[in-house]
């Protein structure tokens, strides 16, 4: 039977307050006691020390509880009440209680600051979520009236509907994350933009156009269009197999107009406000003018209802191709890109002759790849593959950011807190994760870094502990005093022992069997947070003992005091390739859940 002393203490606190006619926030007291028990691992309130009070107020509470600054006085009063209760009931000696009371008062200013910082962060996250919901609904954030109208309507919704919409947004927002990339220096990007054929063609078009009359649709007249094609070297339609790109000039024209390199309004053309920027010697100004141009040519607005030819179909799907390239570690073969594009076209559009259209799409796609190479966005790489150039990486990332994606950069976590580092590492590939960790460690004192990582391990879930432990193992023996001091915390102790052994610290010892089992469960539970169960099990089995030894370990695992042990065993039962081992895991999962229910019921 698990002895949950929190409920017993809470009841005694209530009686103590009633006898004295004092007001006590019973719910707040239970919350503080729960934190002391679950997060700090204390076996009773009498184990609370002055250092424990400071840890509770300055670290555990701000990181575990969502609270506003207006709640700080009430929390401190409740903790003062708990200390008085411990003194009056003799749970701690009077002198020790006085030290606890002094610790509360000494930590109070820092507690207020920590809660304010956490409250600000929570509000910022909430504001970002609300802004994201508005963007998803097409509300312009610079339109105050529209924003206020949306907020009123959202707040009028039933609570469960608001919750559902928020959860759906957060799920989608998690999907809108792309892997971290490295960016070239701004000077190199600007040089590439100046050398781009897209820049040269649009500048040539703007110079040729100057100021002249246009058609009623703000386009060049047929005669002018012929002359412009000749001036730009586009007089002969480019072809690839059966596709003829007769719309090259029109594409450049509308891109220049949308990017404001050329102004076309009221039946007349004139140089646009972005023309100077596209010629600027200032790198930032040039890139600011070049990006809208790139956006306009790779994100066209061909309306399917108008009837699309193969080139327009491919251009409509071009951003998907660029994002695919952005997310790849290695150059991508054109065949792989083409297959993905053709599948998407086949799903999105209905054609009477699929074979003929497929062939046309193939030709159009080859032409688009060649054009993107001319513009300096793609480069041939590997065995016939394609990759984004540094300019292409930068430009695609800018478009992703504008569309609400999270697009991290390698190295941007160097000055972050350990918790932010661990959270950010979940989006990294192994190679960039190593680089990010190295940069973070280089900018932090070893002992301070170890202390921050140990804090993450105390307060985070299994996935955070796994990552924090991996980073901790990159720190040398100079952090040993900090790690030794953390061995008393139940969530950290096994990892601290492993680290001390790894650095050959004299205080090292063998990991106890129950600690080894706990670490195994914690590791697999961490994998289950971000990977599919089958993938997590496959990764876990790489380091697990084989055959009968694993079956014996599984039979022990269900007794492990880890909150996720049943889920881990269930995953093993569902996905272990050996039927006998899988059956043993399912049986152990049932035992673990039964034991947990008995503990909760006090049986």
User: What's residue 185's pLDDT?
Assistant: 96
Give the percent of the chain with pLDDT over 70.
91
Domain boundary among 458, 477, 511: 511
Q: Which of 22-26, 107-111, 285-289 has the lowest mean pLDDT?
A: 22-26
Whether 45 shows a pLDDT value over 80: the answer reads: yes
The C-alpha atoms of residue 424 and residue 438 are separated, in whole angstroms, by 14
Looking at the predicted structure, is the pLDDT value of residue 598 above 70? no
Look at residue 498 and tell me if it is in a domain.
yes
260, 216: one domain = yes
The answer to whether position 412 is within a domain reads no
- The pLDDT of residue 601: 47
Residues 379 and 423 in one domain: no
Question: Do 537 and 422 have their domain in common?
Answer: no
Mean pLDDT of 396-424: 90
pLDDT in tens, 481-501: 999 998 888 899 999 999 999
426 and 543 within one domain = no
| Residue where a domain terminates, one of 473, 490, 511 | 511
| Number of Cβ within a 10 Å radius of residue 15 | 10
The pLDDT of residue 314: 84
Same domain, 485 and 522: no
How many CB atoms within 10 Å of residue 9?
A: 23
- Position 155 in a domain: yes
Q: What pLDDT sits at residue 452?
A: 93
**145 and 119 both lie in a single domain:** no
pLDDT at 244 over 50: no
Do 369 and 428 belong together in one domain? Answer: no
Is 180 a member of any domain? no
236 domain residue, yes or no:
yes
Q: Angle at which helices 94-136 and 144-156 pack, to 10 degrees?
A: 110
Q: Distance between CA 260 and CA 363 in Å, rounded?
A: 31
| For range 436-446, the mean pLDDT | 94
- Give the H or E element holding residue 212: strand 212-213
Long-range pairs for 390-394 at CB < 8 Å and ≥24 separation? 390/183, 390/184, 390/188, 390/189, 390/192, 391/184, 391/189, 391/192, 391/193, 391/196, 392/322, 392/325, 393/181, 393/182, 393/183, 393/184, 393/326, 394/183, 394/184, 394/189, 394/287
pLDDT at 243: 41
Q: Are residues 214 and 328 in the same domain?
A: yes
pLDDT digits (tens, 9 = 90+) for 301-340: 676 667 677 788 888 888 888 998 998 888 888 888 888 7
Q: pLDDT tens digit string along 47-96? A: 889 998 998 898 888 877 777 788 889 999 999 999 999 999 998 899 99
Rg value, the chain, Cα: 32
Six-digit token string for 288: 């600011």
Which range among 34-38, 41-45, 75-79, 540-544 has the greatest average pLDDT? Answer: 75-79
Of the two residues 118 and 44, the one the predictor is more confident about is 44
Residue 130 lies in a domain: no
Give the per-residue pLDDT at 172.
Answer: 63
Can you give the pLDDT at residue 484? 93
CA quadruple 37, 43, 46, 51: dihedral, nearest 10: -60
Q: Which residue has the tokens 């005694």?
A: 12
Average pLDDT of span 275-288 = 97
- Determine which of 120-134, 248-262, 304-318 has the lowest per-residue pLDDT on average: 120-134
Asked if 209 and 284 sit in the same domain, the reply is yes
Write out pLDDT tens, residues 152-162.
888 888 878 88
Q: Is residue 413 part of a domain?
A: no
Q: Is residue 579 part of a domain?
A: yes
Answer with the one of 470, 495, 511 that is the final residue of a domain. 511
Rounded to whole angstroms, the Cα distance separating 268 from 155 reads: 48
What is the rounded CA–CA span in Å between residue 210 and residue 597? 80
Q: Read off the pLDDT band of 2 (50, 70, 90).
A: very low
Is the pLDDT higher at 603 or at 345? 345
Does 115 lie in the same domain as 207? no
Tell me what percent of the residues of the chain surpass a pLDDT of 90. Answer: 44
pTM: 0.65
Q: Which structural domain range is residue 467 located in?
A: 418-511
Note the pLDDT of residue 68: 79
Q: Which helix (H) or strand (E) holds 130?
A: helix 94-136
Instruction: Quote the pLDDT of residue 351.
Output: 59
How much helix, strand and coil, in percent to the nearest 5, is found in the chain? 70, 5, 25
Q: How confident is the model at residue 357 (pLDDT cuts 50, 70, 90)?
A: low
What rounded mean pLDDT belongs to the chain?
Answer: 86
Segment 496-516 shows an average pLDDT of 91
Is residue 376 pLDDT above 50, yes or no? yes
Q: Could you report the per-residue pLDDT of 163-204, keeping only the tens digit for each?
A: 778 777 766 666 678 899 999 999 999 999 999 999 999 999
Q: Please, which pLDDT band fits residue 99 given cuts at 50, 70 and 90?
A: very high
465 plus 505 within the same structural domain: yes
Whether 298 and 361 share a structural domain: yes
What pLDDT score was predicted for residue 125?
64
Report how many domains make up the chain: 5
């Amino acid at each position: 039977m698990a002895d949950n002393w929190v409920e017993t203490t809470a009841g005694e606190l209530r009686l103590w307050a009633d006898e004295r006619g004092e007001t006590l926030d019973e719910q707040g007291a239970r919350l503080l006691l729960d934190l002391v028990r679950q997060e700090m691992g204390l076996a009773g309130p009498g184990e609370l020390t002055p250092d424990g009070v400071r840890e509770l107020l300055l670290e555990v509470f701000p990181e575990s509880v969502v609270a506003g600054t207006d709640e700080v006085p009430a929390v401190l009063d409740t903790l003062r009440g708990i200390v008085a209760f411990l003194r009056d009931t003799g749970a701690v000696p009077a002198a020790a209680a006085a030290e606890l009371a002094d610790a509360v008062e000494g930590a109070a200013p820092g507690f207020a600051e920590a809660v304010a910082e956490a409250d600000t962060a929570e509000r910022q996250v909430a504001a970002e979520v609300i802004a994201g919901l508005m963007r998803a609904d097409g509300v312009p954030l610079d339109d105050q009236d529209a924003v206020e109208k949306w907020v009123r309507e959202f707040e009028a919704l039933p609570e469960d509907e608001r919750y559902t919409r928020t959860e759906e947004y957060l799920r989608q927002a998690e999907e809108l994350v792309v892997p971290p990339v490295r960016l070239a220096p701004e000077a190199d990007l600007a040089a590439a933009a100046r050398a781009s054929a897209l820049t040269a063609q649009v500048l040539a078009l703007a110079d040729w156009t100057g100021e002249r009359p246009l058609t009623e649709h703000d386009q060049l007249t047929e005669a002018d269009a012929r002359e412009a094609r000749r001036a730009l070297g586009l007089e002969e339609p480019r072809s690839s197999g059966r596709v003829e790109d007769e719309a090259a000039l029109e594409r450049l024209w509308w891109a220049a107009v949308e990017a404001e390199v050329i102004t076309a309004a009221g039946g007349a053309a004139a140089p646009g406000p972005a023309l100077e920027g596209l010629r600027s010697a200032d790198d930032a100004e040039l890139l600011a003018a070049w990006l809208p141009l790139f956006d306009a040519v790779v994100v066209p607005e061909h309306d399917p209802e108008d009837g699309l030819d193969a080139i327009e179909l491919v251009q409509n799907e071009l951003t998907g191709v660029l994002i695919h390239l952005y997310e790849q570690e290695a150059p991508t073969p054109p065949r792989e890109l083409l297959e993905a594009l053709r599948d998407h076209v086949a799903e999105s559009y209905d054609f009477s002759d699929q074979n003929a259209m497929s062939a046309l799409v193939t030709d159009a796609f080859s032409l688009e790849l060649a054009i993107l190479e001319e513009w300096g966005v793609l480069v041939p790489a590997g065995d016939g593959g394609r990759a984004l150039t540094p300019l292409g990486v930068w430009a695609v990332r800018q478009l992703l950011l504008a569309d609400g994606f999270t697009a991290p950069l390698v190295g941007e976590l160097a000055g972050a807190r350990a918790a932010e580092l661990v959270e950010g590492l979940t989006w990294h590939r192994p190679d960039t994760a190593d680089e990010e960790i190295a940069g973070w460690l280089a900018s932090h004192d070893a002992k301070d870094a170890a202390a921050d990582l140990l804090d993450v391990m105390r307060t985070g879930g299994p996935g955070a502990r796994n990552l924090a432990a991996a980073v901790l193992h990159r720190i040398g023996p100079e952090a040993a005093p900090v790690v030794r001091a953390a061995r008393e915390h139940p969530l950290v102790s096994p990892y601290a022992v492993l680290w001390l052994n790894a650095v050959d610290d004299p205080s090292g010892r063998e990991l106890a069997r129950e600690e080894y089992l706990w670490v195994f469960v914690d590791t697999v539970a961490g994998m289950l947070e971000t990977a599919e169960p089958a993938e997590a099990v496959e990764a876990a089995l790489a380091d697990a003992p084989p055959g009968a030894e694993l079956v014996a370990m599984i039979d022990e695992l269900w007794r492990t005091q880890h909150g996720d042990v049943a889920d881990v065993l269930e995953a093993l039962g569902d996905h272990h390739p050996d039927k006998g081992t899988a059956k043993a895991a399912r049986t152990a999962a049932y035992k673990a859940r039964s034991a947990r229910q008995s503990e909760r019921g006090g049986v």
